[in-house]
């Protein structure tokens, strides 16, 4: 049965021309993929594994001391965990700052980093895009925090991850045009891929806002007053925005999972509970 779209295609564009244009479009996409097929940054030491530690409440149920000798990528406020100094993450990742967050919020991060991290052991990756209160502008204004090695992941020209760009190497290269960051977990996965990890385990990725769309507080393992208050940010999310956000995350996680599997790279969810069901699950304690 013909759809309205099919009928309109034949009516508005002559069939032969439409077929030719579609073929040309596919050819351009194929050509772009062929010209951007340098996945050399995927070719790391694939014997290694890493753990992405997010800040969902579930990590309070798990013994993070087991990560002492592992490669750890901490994100957002994971450094608030009581065992963070023992774990000593190799990397820490922050998503780009945006409204309503300001330099006062950024200062909380960098003050904490100086307290809990050794600048010689932890590399910090900062998401960046043009914003008055970006991390880059903060560090230029307050150079006293520049004792750490900071690396920027530039999202200024990013696009949403989709079926057309998932195959481009530039989409996966943190030094080129990485796909848009809907959550800091995206940035952490990108970093893990670029560092050559074959198995990427997720911890504290509860992703369970939909359990209660009105839950504006208590979404982290730490007290809200000890971190950055995102209540104002979350109040702007109505039901439509929440459902759209989850749809996009689940779709893009699936695209990541399927594409990376072609290169022998696995994303595995070791979170205790939570809502994220895109990736295969494993019991955290069974990994040690």
Q: Is the pLDDT of residue 37 over 80?
A: no
Q: What is the DSSP string of 192-230?
A: HHHTT-SEEEEES----GGG-TT--S--SSS-GGGS---
DSSP state at residue 266: E
Percent of the chain residues topping a pLDDT of 70: 75
The pair of three-digit structure tokens given for residue 30, joined into one six-digit string: 């194929």
Q: What is the DSSP string of 177-194?
A: -PPP-SSHHHHHHHHHHH
CA–CA dist 127, 136 (Å, integer): 9
pLDDT digit string, tens, across residues 190-210? 999 999 999 999 999 998 765
Radius of gyration from C-alpha coordinates of the chain: 21
Q: Check: pTM over 0.75? Answer yes or no.
A: yes
pLDDT band at 17 (very low <50, low <70, confident <90, very high): very low
pLDDT digit string, tens, across residues 46-61? 568 999 999 989 999 9
| Residue-level pLDDT at 213 | 47
8 Å CB contact between 55 and 163: no
Q: Is the pLDDT of residue 237 over 80?
A: no
CA–CA dist 184, 243 (Å, integer): 19
Residue (of 168, 130, 123) closest to 149 by Cα position: 123
User: Helix, strand or coil for residue 152?
Assistant: strand
pLDDT digit string, tens, across residues 117-167? 999 999 999 999 999 999 999 999 999 999 998 999 999 999 999 999 999
User: Helix, strand or coil for residue 234?
Assistant: helix
For the chain, the average pLDDT equals 84
Helical residues (DSSP H) of 97-168, grouped into ranges: 103-116, 135-141
CA–CA dist 144, 97 (Å, integer): 20
Domain ranges of the chain: 1-35, 40-287
Question: Top-level CATH class of 40-287?
Answer: alpha beta
User: Helix, strand or coil for residue 92?
Assistant: strand
| Residue-level pLDDT at 10 | 45
Task: Taking residues 98-125, report their average pLDDT.
Answer: 94
The pair of three-digit structure tokens given for residue 61, joined into one six-digit string: 């149920």
User: Helix, strand or coil for residue 56?
Assistant: coil
DSSP state at residue 126: E
Q: Report CA dihedral (158, 159, 161, 164) to the nearest 10 degrees.
A: -120
């Amino acid at each position: 049965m013909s759809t309205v779209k099919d009928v309109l295609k034949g009516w508005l564009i002559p069939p032969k021309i439409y077929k030719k244009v579609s073929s040309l479009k596919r050819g351009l996409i194929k050509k772009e993929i062929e010209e951007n097929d340098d996945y050399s940054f995927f070719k790391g030491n694939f014997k290694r594994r890493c753990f992405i530690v997010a800040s969902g409440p579930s990590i309070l149920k798990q013994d993070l001391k087991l990560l002492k000798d592992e490669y750890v990528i901490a994100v957002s406020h994971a450094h608030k965990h009581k065992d963070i100094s023992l774990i000593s993450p190799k990397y820490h990742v922050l998503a780009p700052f945006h409204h309503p967050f300001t330099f006062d919020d950024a200062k909380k991060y960098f003050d904490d980093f100086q307290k809990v991290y050794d600048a010689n052991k932890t590399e910090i990756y900062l998401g960046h895009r043009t914003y008055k209160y970006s991390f880059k502008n903060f560090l230029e204004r307050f150079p006293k925090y520049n004792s750490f090695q900071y690396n920027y992941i530039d999202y200024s020209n990013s696009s949403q991850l989709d079926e057309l760009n998932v195959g481009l190497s530039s989409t996966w290269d943190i030094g080129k045009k990485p796909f848009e960051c809907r959550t800091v977990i995206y940035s952490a996965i990108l970093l893990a891929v670029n560092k050559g990890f074959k198995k990427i385990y997720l911890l504290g990725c509860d992703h369970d806002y939909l359990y209660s769309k009105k839950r504006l507080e208590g979404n982290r393992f730490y007290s809200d007053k000890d971190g950055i208050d995102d209540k104002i940010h979350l109040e702007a999310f109505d039901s439509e925005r929440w459902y759209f956000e989850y749809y996009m995350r689940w779709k893009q996680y699936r695209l990541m999972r399927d594409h990376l599997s072609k290169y022998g790279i696995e994303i595995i969810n070791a979170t205790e509970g939570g809502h994220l069901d895109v990736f295969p699950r494993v019991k955290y304690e069974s990994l040690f």
